[in-house]
Structure 1
Amino acid sequence: MVSSTVEADVESVLASATADGEESLLVVNPSRETIEAIVSAGIDDETSGVPDVRLLVEERTIKDATDGFLLASKAAALVDRRELTIRTPESDLSTTLLVSTDRVAALVEATDGIGVLSTTDEAFRESVGDAYRARFADAADYRLRTPALDRVRETMDEALGEEPRADFEAMLEAIDGTDLAERLDAVAVALLVAAKHGVLLYDLSKWGEDVGIASKATFSRTKTDLEDHGVIDTEKVPIDVGRPRLRLQLGTDRLRDRSIEGLASAAAELLE
Structure 2
Amino acid sequence: MVSNLLETDLENILEDAFAETEGELLVVDPSAETVEAIVEAGIESDTLPELCLLADEDVLKDVMDDFLIASKAADLVEGGSLSLRVLSTDADNALFVSADRVVALVSTGGRVAALSSDDAEFVEEVFSTYRDAFEEAEEYRLRTPAISRVRETMTEEIGDATREDFDDVLASMETARGNGDGLDEVTVSLLVAAKNDVLLYDISKWGEDVGIASKATFSRTKTRLEDLGLIDTEKVPIDVGRPRLRLKLGDDRLKDASVDQLADVVQSALN
Same fold (TM over 0.5): yes
Q: Which piece of structure 1 moves more, 182-191 or 14-23?
A: 14-23
Q: CA offset at residue 2 of structure 1? A: 7.6
3-state SS of the aligned residue for 2:172?
A: helix
3-state SS of the aligned residue for 2:20?
A: coil
Match of 2:101 among 103, 110, 120: 103
Q: CA offset at residue 32 of structure 1? A: 0.9
Q: Does 1:263 align with 2:257?
A: no
Could you say which residue in structure 2 is the equivalent of 1:154?
152
Q: CA offset at residue 189 of structure 1? A: 0.8
Question: Which amino acid counterpart does residue 197 of structure 1 have in structure 2?
Answer: N
Q: Does 1:243 align with 2:242?
A: yes
Q: CA offset at residue 19 of structure 1? A: 2.6
Structure 1 Cα separation of the partners of residues 72 and 91 of structure 2: 25
Instruction: Say if 1:86 and 1:141, in contact at 8 Å, map to a contact too.
Output: yes
Residues 91-170 of structure 1 correspond to what in structure 2 (within 5 A)?
91-170=89-168
3-state SS of the aligned residue for 2:240?
A: coil
Matched residues, number: 270
Q: Which piece of structure 1 moves more, 85-94 or 239-248?
A: 85-94
Match of 1:175 among 160, 173, 176: 173
Instruction: Say if 1:29 and 1:97, in contact at 8 Å, map to a contact too.
Output: yes
Could you say which residue in structure 2 is the equivalent of 1:53?
51
Could you say which residue in structure 1 is the equivalent of 2:26?
26
Instruction: Say if 1:89 and 1:138, in contact at 8 Å, map to a contact too.
Output: no
Question: Under a length normalisation based on structure 2, what TM-score does the superposition of the two structures give?
Answer: 0.93
Could you say which residue in structure 2 is the equivalent of 1:9?
9
Q: CA offset at residue 113 of structure 1? A: 1.3
Instruction: Say if 2:67 and 2:176, in contact at 8 Å, map to a contact too.
Output: no
Deviations 1:21-50 (A, max 9, x none): 524311111111111111112223xx3212
Could you say which residue in structure 2 is the equivalent of 1:226?
225
How has the CA–CA distance of structure 1 residues 19 and 2 changed in structure 2, closer, same or farther, with 3 Å as cutoff? Answer: closer
Q: CA offset at residue 154 of structure 1? A: 1.6
Question: Under a length normalisation based on structure 1, what TM-score does the superposition of the two structures give?
Answer: 0.93
Structure 1 Cα separation of the partners of residues 155 and 23 of structure 2: 33
Q: CA offset at residue 92 of structure 1? A: 3.2
Percent identity over the alignment? 55
Structure 2 Cα separation of the partners of residues 112 and 91 of structure 1: 26
Could you say which residue in structure 2 is the equivalent of 1:40?
40
Q: CA offset at residue 9 of structure 1? A: 1.0
Aligned-residue RMSD, C-alpha? 2.0
Structure 2 Cα separation of the partners of residues 261 and 170 of structure 1: 6
Q: Does 1:189 align with 2:188?
A: yes
3-state SS of the aligned residue for 1:193?
A: helix
How has the CA–CA distance of structure 1 residues 217 and 43 changed in structure 2, closer, same or farther, with 3 Å as cutoff? Answer: same
3-state SS of the aligned residue for 1:183?
A: coil
Q: Does 1:204 align with 2:203?
A: yes
Structure 1 Cα separation of the partners of residues 192 and 21 of structure 2: 41
3-state SS of the aligned residue for 1:195?
A: helix
Question: Which amino acid counterpart does residue 245 of structure 1 have in structure 2?
Answer: R
3-state SS of the aligned residue for 1:6?
A: strand
- Listed as ranges, the gaps of 5+ residues in structure 2 are none
Q: CA offset at residue 85 of structure 1? A: 0.3
Structure 2 Cα separation of the partners of residues 252 and 74 of structure 1: 31
Instruction: Say if 2:66 and 2:176, in contact at 8 Å, map to a contact too.
Output: no
Structure 1 Cα separation of the partners of residues 109 and 73 of structure 2: 29
Instruction: Say if 2:24 and 2:49, in contact at 8 Å, map to a contact too.
Output: yes
Q: Which piece of structure 1 moves more, 27-36 or 162-171?
A: 162-171
Instruction: Say if 1:58 and 1:93, in contact at 8 Å, map to a contact too.
Output: no
Structure 1 Cα separation of the partners of residues 4 and 81 of structure 2: 29
Structure 2 Cα separation of the partners of residues 59 and 153 of structure 1: 28
How has the CA–CA distance of structure 1 residues 178 and 152 changed in structure 2, closer, same or farther, with 3 Å as cutoff? Answer: closer
- Listed as ranges, the gaps of 5+ residues in structure 1 are none
Structure 2 Cα separation of the partners of residues 254 and 91 of structure 1: 50
Structure 2 Cα separation of the partners of residues 142 and 253 of structure 1: 43
